[in-house]
Structure 1
């Protein structure tokens, strides 16, 4: 990355960072999309089973991956401050931490999942598919978490195109494995939705191997010697990483977990409603890749400028990113409103399920507009390493406002299952406004500190 002065230069730099991240996120989302889509084409029971399984898996995966993403602002600020010699050490420590987190997840998962699924009112076949899907995908937890660290390191250097290429390679691998393992093509076992979990696990190992080879051999990553000088575990380094990563991870966990909670609460509805909700949520998650990619880009760019002490430039990037997200959300809202039936048809061949999916997608329109403000704002705050307040606001938005309001509307009004979406939209809208106010306050504080340092510096 390079310092920028004009708005055009910033827009160009922003696009260079953003576009590969967006392609990467869409590709990662596509893995879940094809898991859901191809399982749904197998049967609605498999779709429901995968829906329940992913509602448990995704919050854990994204929350803990969010903790590991704390390495992004750390590396970005080190590079911005010309302290490249400290980068490899931080990446090494994040890798050790990723392995520990993966082992903990495996231990807790194997102990807790049977009880969680047993407590739900599920059809026996849906419960079986969900349990076996989670067992299969758990084989890829260690490589997934390790790759999260390596990808965050690559992106923090501004080399987001490399992450894009690695992820694009993984997509056809995953789709091909899905076809073989879900439908039993070419003599492979016909596993249904469970095959999607195994395909994802194999894909995670593939991308990790590619990332290791790339970082070890290709410039500029090879100059950091990440794998040539492996350091032992440092609890003090873990403390610094966790100080930033835990609030990020828990913020992400709270957001994804609330959707998981909604899916679990909706287990009281029929299988068609569960399947339709999950399909609509899956597509909404795909749309969410737009603001999420902008969020990740702002963490890199704002972190780089803040590390260099250029607060005005950091603020300009924040405004540029948030405004871009809002414009894109309005465009996708129009597309979704016009083509909702066609989108719903991607997930099911059953007319009743398609109609339900289309209805849920109408609520997804309003949800993603609020996301367009809240998510990029969080990214800018992470660039400043201001993460604790964003975590508390995420808790307020989803768990104090969103889920309780949704529960009341779903169980005590005629909105039924749709009430959960209305509640989440309400909570996120409140959170978006509060998050934006926090960003203005943090930027003002950093700007005053920078101005004070400039005045007090010796001439």
Structure 2
């Protein structure tokens, strides 16, 4: 990541070299999530619904752990920038054990929920699939902690191709395993939707073993992973990482729960509204992998520049990140608008649903501008190790702004003639209202993050300037006198 002749353009090249493999790898993981539900549907509607219900328990849990691990990228890249790589093994070890502890707690909670609270009176087969799907995937949460900390370590060390390799590996493993366990091929039992959970456990186990092996043999990785830690583990170090990372886990879960609540609040309006919103959300979530991946690369570059204590590199990196973000949001908006009449047809054949999705995709494309902005700025703050601000802003944007506005518009509590003029007879009622609420939430987050990024930059600039002012004096004091 070091370049003696840095420009904004050269740093953009560095950013995209880091980000493109992450983007492709994340697309592979997104495909993986979609194939579970699609293949379960081949076994029957109750099996597909059971996997979807089970996933609604598992997804927030996995998002929490993955959110925690996202704090690791800038911490390791700071060590790289500061040339203190000898501290990386212990730092990595603290992250692994912190996330493993949380992962075991979440696994226990999921098992309790599966056997104690998951009851679906309307369909016993759906209940059975949901329960045992949750039981299976609960055991993957500690594996996710191991696997994702290893993946984050590879990315922070600049080896982002690993994300692409193991994303493809996960798909290659999971799809045939799903087929075998769902339909009972090669002498295996036909488990229906439950087979998706079994396949997930096996594929995650294999992926974890493979990525650990990769860390041990790769020349740039083998000497600094947590497996080479010789400094020991301290409870203080684990606790320090938890304090840094848990706000990110909570903020990820808060955002995830907000979208789940929107789907729940749309349910009284009928299946067309729920389906249209869900399809739109699925497509935007897929496209969201672009700014998300660029954000991960941004956090790595910001952490590296701060570790190097180089204000010029930091300034160039921030400019490169913002310019790259413009490319990302243009690409994201282009995909959503150009595919609004084609992509939804992969999810539904209902003309009423497809017509509403085409409308919602316009709202989604508008939101994507601020989604990209706020995401990348949140990752810049990760580079500054400011995770509490991310939690506070996420809560304000989604629960204090987006949901109240969305509810007011969706149910017609706020009605203005201009809404009908601009958006037709229904105005901003129904799912349109929630997408407008999300727009205002994302705008709020973008503004608040921007203010905080500027505060951190100015503070760091003042600190570096103060150190530079003191440097000549200290050097003068240390200069030996000659007789």
Rounded to whole Å, the distance in 2 between the matches of 1:266 and 1:48 is 18
Task: Answer yes or no: is 1:422 the counterpart of 2:436.
Answer: yes
Counterpart Cα distance in 2 of 1:444 and 1:380: 14
Is the Cα–Cα contact under 8 Å of residues 296 and 379 in structure 1 kept in the other structure?
yes
TM-score for the superposition, normalised by structure 1 = 0.90
Q: Residues 283-362 of structure 1: matches in 2 within 5 Å?
A: 283-351=283-351, 353-362=353-362
Write out per-residue CA displacement over residues 368-422 of structure 1, whole angstroms, 9 at most, x where no aligned residue. 2221100000111111112221221111001111122223333346622443333
Give the equivalent residue in structure 1 for 2:452: 438
Conserved in 1, the CA contact under 8 Å of 2:277 and 2:357?
yes
Distance 2:442 2:365 in 1: 13
Structure 2 unaligned regions, length at least 5: 414-425, 476-483
Query: Post-superposition shift, 1:188?
Result: 4.8
How far has the Cα of 1:365 moved from its partner?
Answer: 1.8
* 1:456 maps to which of 456, 470, 475: 470
Distance, in Å, in 2 between the alignment partners of 1:328 and 1:108 is 38
Secondary structure at the aligned position of 1:223 is classed as coil
**Which secondary structure state, in structure 2, belongs to the residue aligned with residue 14 of structure 1?**
helix
Distance 2:79 2:163 in 1: 20
CA deviations 1:22-60 (Å, max 9, x no partner) are: 112212222112223444566555554444433332222
Counterparts of 1:6-405 in structure 2 under 5 Å? Answer: 6-40=7-41, 46-113=47-114, 117-118=118-119, 126-184=126-184, 188-224=188-224, 226-229=226-229, 233-268=233-268, 270=270, 273-351=273-351, 353-405=353-405
Question: 1:350, 1:136 → 2: CA distance?
Answer: 33
CA RMSD of aligned residues (A): 2.7
CA distance in structure 2 between the partners assigned to 1:362 and 1:46 by the alignment: 33
Query: 1:168-224, CA deviations, whole angstroms, 9 ceiling, x for partnerless residues?
Result: 222221222233334555565554444333322222112111111011122111122
Q: Is the 8 A contact 2:97 2:238 kept in 1?
A: no
CA spacing shift, 1:218–1:303, aligned 2, 3 Å: same
Does the CA-based 8 Å contact 1:166-1:207 persist in structure 2?
Answer: yes
User: Does the 8 Å contact 2:7/2:316 carry over to 1?
Assistant: no
- Equivalent residues of 1:41, 1:348 under 8 A apart: no
1:125 & 1:429 partners in 2: Cα distance? 43
Are 2:64 and 2:249, in contact at CA under 8 Å, matched by a contact in 1?
A: yes
Segments of structure 1 that go 5 or more residues without pairing to the other structure are: none
After superposition, the C-alpha distances for 1:240-275 in whole angstroms (9 at most, x for unaligned) are: 212321222222222122112223444545556544
Change (3 A) 1:402 1:325: same
Q: Which moves more between the two structures, 351-360 or 164-173? A: 351-360
More moved, 92-101 vs 396-405: 92-101
- How far apart, CA to CA, are the structure 1 residues paired with 2:364 and 2:43? 25
* C-alpha distance 43-433 of structure 1, shift in aligned 2 (>3 A): farther
Q: Is the 8 A contact 2:94 2:233 kept in 1?
A: yes
TM-score (norm 2): 0.86
